[in-house]
Amino acid sequence: MSRTSSEHDRRVAGRLAGKTALVVGAGSIGPGWGNGKATAVTFAREGAAVFCVDRDPAAAEETAKIITDEGGQAHAYAADATDERQSRDMVAACLELWGQIDILDNNVGIAEVGGVVDMQMSNWDRVMDVNVKAALLAMKHTIPHMASRGGGSIVNIASIAGTRWLGVSYAAYYASKAALLHLTRTSAVEYARHGVRVNAVSPGAMQTPMVEQDAGISGVDSANVEEMWAKRAALVPLGVGGEGWDVAWAALYLASDESRYVTGIDLVVDGGLSLKW
């Protein structure tokens, strides 16, 4: 598999030049840079046309506008990724607009506090729908197209919670991220012969709008958010909390041709946190 001149040209123009990316969860739940928003913008800066999907139309529009204002190519689309009809229509709309999907980035995710004893079943179902079913549906409707074109790259955003206890009673979150990781591994094997690569990124202690919002729900007021970030960062061997950009750069590698021989991996982005006892 030697390098070709066209591959060299793409690298010069941008690592994703000529590619179309479907980013599910491309908005941000609040001010700042969530994983999906940072990833969508990073993909565009590297030359991809980005189909920005979010349940919140305004959030999708905000991300798309950032891209187009920078001279990139983007389209905003509102959809509930947990609904099969909407997921199918989302994929169809991207194909109708640009004719191809080279990259699928699954970014949606939520957490609900509760162990197996006190877990509300409605919360369990909601977490499983958002964290697992949404990715499953997007893959279901995208993989046939990718296979017909000879391949593509799928990046599922999981979490180190999928492999370990994080000190919080998050039964549904732990189980859902573990399920997403194994769905990634098994799908990578099943569709490898079609040229479809499936990989995961597992963030650790990130400083994102979603984490900040969840902290507010748990009683952390805005005056104490910086203190919360500092406490979380102190647990990380590198001594700093991660950002949405860290996840975006990892996703960029897995989306690009630079990872053409990589499939089925869990790329941990946690500053070494998961190495600790």
| C-alpha to C-alpha distance for 40 and 21, rounded to whole angstroms | 8
Quick check: is 173 catalytic? yes
Q: Nearest CA to 50 among 70, 31, 34, 33?
A: 70
The answer to whether the beta carbons of residues 172 and 124 sit under 8 Å apart is yes
| C-alpha to C-alpha distance for 39 and 47, rounded to whole angstroms | 13
- The angle, 0 to 180 degrees and rounded to 10, between the axes of the packed helices 171-190 and 121-128 is 30
> Which of 173, 191, 253, 261 does the annotation list as catalytic?
173
SS3 content of the chain, % helix, strand, coil (to 5): 50, 15, 35
- Between strands 266-269 and 196-203, the pairing is parallel
Residues acting as catalytic residues: 173
